[in-house]
Structure 1
Amino acid sequence: MADLIAWVMVLAIAAYACAGGTDYGAGFWDLMAGGADRGKRPRWLIDHAMAPVWETNNVWLIFVFVVMWTGFPTVFQAIFEAMWLPLTLAAVGLVLRGAGFALRKPARRLARRRLYGAMFAVASLLTPFFLGAVLGGIAAGRVKVGTSASADAWAHPVSVLTGLLAIAASAFLGAVFLCADARRFGADDLVDYFRLRAFLAFGAVVVLALIGLPVTRSDARYVWDGLTGGWGLCLVILAGVCGLATVLLLLRREYRWCRYPSVASVALVVVAWGLAQRPYLLPTSLTVEQAAGAAHTLRWLALVTLIAIVLVGPALVLLYRLDTLGRLEPLTDADTRAARAPGDNL
């Protein structure tokens, strides 16, 4: 039962890395779009593409935390004690990001729109970095039961590289999805704009992964061994194939299908990381069995998780499907009473 719950948690992390990562990637390109005039069209597309689903994607992160503190309270305590600073910064980023995105569009004054837009864009960069840094610290074995909070737990080469990889992978996903969204919204001028950025982001992922090879081997040897042998290596290779397939589809301008292998490439890396850590939740100090809560708690957690999958799962699938088909349209400026008013240019 403990192994089952642990795998549910890994799959939820993979879902958040893909769904939430796409949103973070859109925020990254919002930050890189340039000034108000130059970035007007990309930001318009980002607003319309994200609006129907951006709040829903955070459900996966909440689910991960609930499963962790219920099923593996010792792990939850150890991680939050050792990593409270990056996790707090990530949480602040989540709040500021949501507030910036929600308030930017209805703001009437240009100065306020710029302020809220900056909040959204900068937080979209910082939040995935700190979440990635936490995962890197865990993979490197820097977190143990009783570990005191310190920069050594997360400000080391593996954590920094993992944080940068999280940003690059998010940028890759965001650009791939925005290519398809540009066609969906009839913004043909933005298709090649985000196509180029998808290529650049994929190149950044490859470069960071190559840099991370010797670093991971020396600083996270247990996870390195798991990723370079057995099923872990198979999934890493398959993730690379999916990434290359995405690039090939983009080159052929098959925007309808390129989203699927891009999501698969990120999800497979997360699952490979889960396989590489077996049987540990905190390498190499705490196994899944050692960290598991009481047996009756795990049984109830499994039951509640099953009910959630049955009741919520189809709704999420339908929501994502309707969004990718273009059936969900965000509110217009007129709907939100954000019509142009005196002082807009102040």
Structure 2
Amino acid sequence: MTPFVPPDWLPVIFAGLMALSILLYVVLDGFDLGVGILLPRVSVEADRDRMIAAIGPFWDANETWLVLGVGLLLVAFPSAHGVILTELYLPVAVMLAGLTLRGVAFEFRAKAADLRQKRRWDHAFVAGSLISALSQGWMLGRYVLGFADGWAATGFAAMAAIGLAIAYAFIGAAWLIWRTEGDLQRAAIGWARLAIWPMGIGILLVSAVTPLVSSRIFDRWFAFPEVLALAPLPIATAALLLGIGSLLRHMPLPGDALRRVPFWGAVALFSLFFAGLAWSFFPYVVPERLTIWQSASAPESLTLILAGAIFVLPVILAYTFLAWRIFGGKARDLTYY
């Protein structure tokens, strides 16, 4: 075991790596899932092609973060992995089916012989994107309530599913504002205007329910002096929502100024929301059942896995950065037919 990492810190490090992987997945794959959800709102074939081109260089690499996050859960917290997958077996299977359908549709769309076939694959791409988003939202709702049963829990999970799909549609629209121009960019501004306030309501709903499911979580947020230290989090979230909403009302601006701001504002919103959830549930990896220390693998195993993670994580970050660097700017016509 490396002397630089005390055994008690290893589960904390892996919890941080897993949380980072999930957050990056939600942000990065979120925008291309959102573009897929928005695809039916466009009837002009050139604009549909442009939407696909806007995510073409990124979508498959973005899913790497999901693989990394689930992989870390499996190898670092095996007992928690068993509990979570047992509770979420069906929505996980549905999500994987949706992601598979989306990937197949993306590839076959590019090889379609005629417009009719192309539209069929478009429908499959939309279905795969929507199924994936809804299943992820359902899993979020179930996790927040500690996998509780009953009609109220089912209703909350359904609302979380719809809310996450809307959030993905918002960040997808923000991505298109940045990466497209002309009529498609103006349409994306309209979609973002429609999605931002339902997304805000979803953030408020989950944030309000989370402290109510556990007295421990309630005390973490509202006990003094924690309530003062945590007050900037909801204030910053509300300020971001109001600021982005105000900016969208004035877009498009002359010279395409500030076109990046809605996307990075959405990234900040997702990050703040995720930070709130992380604060609520830490140190539990299974809500109110298993802490990261109770479910962690042996220190010797974690040390070995950490060595691999230290190598893999920079590689994934590097090729993600490289893809953004090479394929920066506005989306152009598809060229891989």
Question: TM-score, length-normalised on structure 2?
Answer: 0.85
- Cα 1:39–1:154 shift into 2, 3 Å: farther
- Other-structure match for 1:178: 176
- Cα 1:32–1:218 shift into 2, 3 Å: farther
The 2-side partners of 1:233 and 1:318 are apart by: 37
Check the 8 A contact 2:31/2:168 in 1, yes or no. Answer: yes
- Cα 1:211–1:290 shift into 2, 3 Å: closer
Cα distance, 1:22 vs structure 2: 0.2
Structure 2 residue 55 is matched with structure 1 residue 50: yes
Structure 2 residue 199 is matched with structure 1 residue 205: yes
Structure 2 residue 33 is matched with structure 1 residue 24: yes
Question: Where does 1:137-216 land on structure 2 (aligned, <5 Å)?
Answer: 137-142=142-147, 156-183=154-181, 188-212=182-206, 215-216=209-210
The 2-side partners of 1:18 and 1:280 are apart by: 23
Question: TM-score, length-normalised on structure 1?
Answer: 0.83
Question: Where does 1:1-346 land on structure 2 (aligned, <5 Å)?
Answer: 1-33=10-42, 38-142=43-147, 156-183=154-181, 188-212=182-206, 215-216=209-210, 218-219=212-213, 223=217, 226=220, 230=227, 234-250=232-248, 251-252=250-251, 253=253, 254-326=258-330, 331-332=334-335, 335-336=336-337
Check the 8 A contact 2:98/2:128 in 1, yes or no. Answer: yes
Q: Secondary structure at the match of 1:156?
A: helix
Q: Secondary structure at the match of 1:55?
A: helix
| Segment drifting more, 268-277 vs 217-226 | 217-226
Cα distance, 1:40 vs structure 2: 2.4
Q: Secondary structure at the match of 1:284?
A: coil
Could you tell me the percent identity over the aligned residues?
A: 24
- Cα 1:153–1:138 shift into 2, 3 Å: farther
Give unmatched runs, 5+ long, in structure 1: 144-150, 337-346
Q: Residue type of the partner of 2:64? A: V
Q: Residue type of the partner of 2:243? A: A
Cα distance, 1:212 vs structure 2: 4.5
Q: Residue type of the partner of 2:157? A: S
The 2-side partners of 1:238 and 1:113 are apart by: 43
Cα deviation, 1:232-275, whole Å, max 9, x if unaligned, reads 65334323333333334433532033322221111221122111
Give unmatched runs, 5+ long, in structure 2: 1-9
Over the residues paired in the alignment, what is the CA RMSD in angstroms? 2.5
Number of residue equivalences: 318
Larger % of helix: which? Answer: 2
Cα distance, 1:21 vs structure 2: 0.4
